[in-house]
Structure 1
Amino acid sequence: MWFRNVRVFRFTKPFDITAEALEEKLMEDVFKPCGPQETSRQGWVPPLGKRGEQLVHSAGGYHLITLRKEEKILPGPVVKELVEEKVELIEAEQGRKVRRKEKDEIKELVMLEMLPKAFSKNRRSYAYLAPQDGMLIVDAGSAKQAEDLASSLRKSLGSLPVRPPAVEQAPAFTLTGWLTETIDLPSSLVLGDECELKDPSEDGGVVRCKGLDLQGDEIRSHLDAGMQATRVALTWEDSLSFILDEELGIRRLKFGDTLQEKLDDVEADDAVARFDAAFSLMTLELSRLIPGLLDALGGEDRSAIIEAD
């Protein structure tokens, strides 16, 4: 149970919920497969898959949840070809031109005919609520995917006061400063060998570098020309490696050998116990990493957050 990406949401006011209460809320939106004429559906499923029945897996005060989305696959070229065939038949038989509005209606009918036989694509998105840390952590490669899950959770709970965290200075400014050495890189962080640089002008270009010394002359020449670092590879305390971007997204998260060894030391043969152990180790590490990154990026701006009494 290792997340591959991390998108962070900060609770804007004190928020707490028990696993039991969360389970009850999610049950109202449990996943049900698409009907014959539906193109997509989504709902909550057990994080343990077939090994579990609970929609919430809790450990150490952290509540893991899973959103499943099913989408019917209707290949565009196939739909287009069938629509064209029907249009040609109508034009030949009735001796008239089929207009755009009618073509759209034909397309809808074609798709409805195809849906019952269409293949389905399923995607599971994982997240966990960390009330004691004031955060919602989503395993998502994009901000949109993370927001989709947060929106679904908000719908199920009725209210979810979260927003992405804000920092005191622009992340790109700090990332660039680490590469130019004008801002000290915290001792807990080590630069990797990969970055993305962007020209901030309207029509500016993008340079993606891999396998290079990020504080070397080649990178420095681009930065001296006015480019800014928008993604940087980092390693944290020799236990986690990842790409940090200017939206505070953590991509391609990898857990190091130390954590894997800790998991291997867990005396558990069954998959459920190992899943639980991995989740506990992961949440412990991320509860240390995320505040550390926010501090390293200039400190979190908490002006819009209502603190607990």
Structure 2
Amino acid sequence: MWFKNLIFYRFTKPFEWTSKELEEKLTEKRFSGCGSQDISSFGWVPPLGRHGDMLTHASGDFVMICAKKEEKILPASVIKDALEEKVETIEQEEQREVFSKEKKALKDDILMELLPRAFTKHQKTLAYLDTKEGWLVVDASSFKKAEELTSCLRECLGSLPIINPPLKNLPSAPMTQWLSENPTVPAPFLLGDECDLREPGDEGGQINVRKQELITEEIQAHLEGGMQVSKLALQWDEAQTFVLSDDLIVRKLKFTEMIQDQLDEVEAETAAEQFDADFAVMSLSLRKLINDLVEALGGLSDVSAEA
């Protein structure tokens, strides 16, 4: 359950659905596996897995949800080989050329023929709503994966008034400043041992620094030469370590022993009770992290728009 990545969205108006109402809405798209002719399937499953039936799990102001995706695995090379074999057979037996329009129809037929025999892969995506602070937080390392979940949630609710956090500054600006001359990282953050530097522009060069001291003359020279920080490893309040990207995605999120110490005080007797305790500790800690991170980056602007 512990999140490894964070993509967080800002609600432009208070989330008005109760946990019970949200449960009812999500039930409309409860996950169902792929049929024989389906390429993929997407829907909601219980966050507690086999330990629960509910599609939502509420803890105070937080509500956990979980989406599941099933995809048929059909390598393009397999379809290509089958199509080439089919075209060659037709051309030899009927003594004619197969053109693009017919090839497309043949490809569709081959796809439908292979789908029932294809292997499948499954992937779950956890997310939670912070109804008090107005955040939707998704455990995803790419916007594509996060937007699959938000699109499904929007479809269930009819609307989902969220936007990417409207920061006053581009994240790369304060991140670069934190490593520049006389570097000062806002408390309670500390620098880690990893960063990526990038020159402005699509064709600009990039330097990756791993497991090294970041306040060095070499890095200062690159920054003075116009390079900007695009990724930066940080530690927050001795509770989490992570890598922040200039697109505001938090990756490689790890919880420290301090968080484990809080959980050691909980006497959970069932898997459901342990999940509830983990969720409560994680969500409260991440609420503080997100709020501190937004403040450290310069805060939110007053601009808002309904999604």
- Give me the TM-score of the superposition, normalised by structure 1: 0.96
CA distance in 2, matches of 1:182, 1:10: 33
Q: Secondary structure at the match of 1:125?
A: strand
Counterpart check, 1:50 vs 2:55: no
Residues 173, 228 of structure 2: 8 Å contact kept? yes
CA shift, 1:182, in A, is 5.5
Residues 63, 128 of structure 2: 8 Å contact kept? yes
Aligned to 1:113: 113
CA distance in 1, matches of 2:205, 2:100: 39
Counterpart check, 1:221 vs 2:221: yes
Q: Secondary structure at the match of 2:70?
A: strand
CA distance in 2, matches of 1:231, 1:67: 28
Q: Secondary structure at the match of 1:302?
A: coil
Q: Which runs of 5+ in 2 are unaligned?
A: none
Aligned to 1:174: 174
Q: Secondary structure at the match of 1:259?
A: helix
CA distance in 2, matches of 1:184, 1:38: 53
Query: What is the 5 A alignment of 1:110-189?
Result: 110-181=110-181, 184-189=184-189
CA shift, 1:270, in A, is 2.0
Query: What is the 5 A alignment of 1:65-76?
Result: 65-76=65-76
CA shift, 1:193, in A, is 0.6
- Give me the TM-score of the superposition, normalised by structure 2: 0.96
Alpha carbons of 1:177 and 1:171: their partners in 2 closer, same or farther (altered >3 Å)?
same
**Percent identity between the aligned chains?**
45
Alpha carbons of 1:64 and 1:233: their partners in 2 closer, same or farther (altered >3 Å)?
same
Q: Which whole-Å deviations, capped at 9, do the CAs of 1:251-308 have from their partners, x for residues lacking one?
A: 11100011112212211132211111110000010111111001100111133279xx
Residues 8, 164 of structure 1: 8 Å contact kept? yes
CA distance in 2, matches of 1:182, 1:152: 46
Q: Which whole-Å deviations, capped at 9, do the CAs of 1:87-139 have from their partners, x for residues lacking one?
A: 11001111112112211211111111111111111111111111101111111
Residues 181, 220 of structure 2: 8 Å contact kept? no
CA distance in 2, matches of 1:110, 1:56: 40
Aligned-partner residue type, residue 201 of structure 2: S
Query: What is the 5 A alignment of 1:258-297?
Result: 258-297=258-297
Aligned-partner residue type, residue 300 of structure 1: L
CA distance in 1, matches of 2:68, 2:203: 39
Q: Which runs of 5+ in 1 are unaligned?
A: none
Q: Secondary structure at the match of 2:32?
A: coil
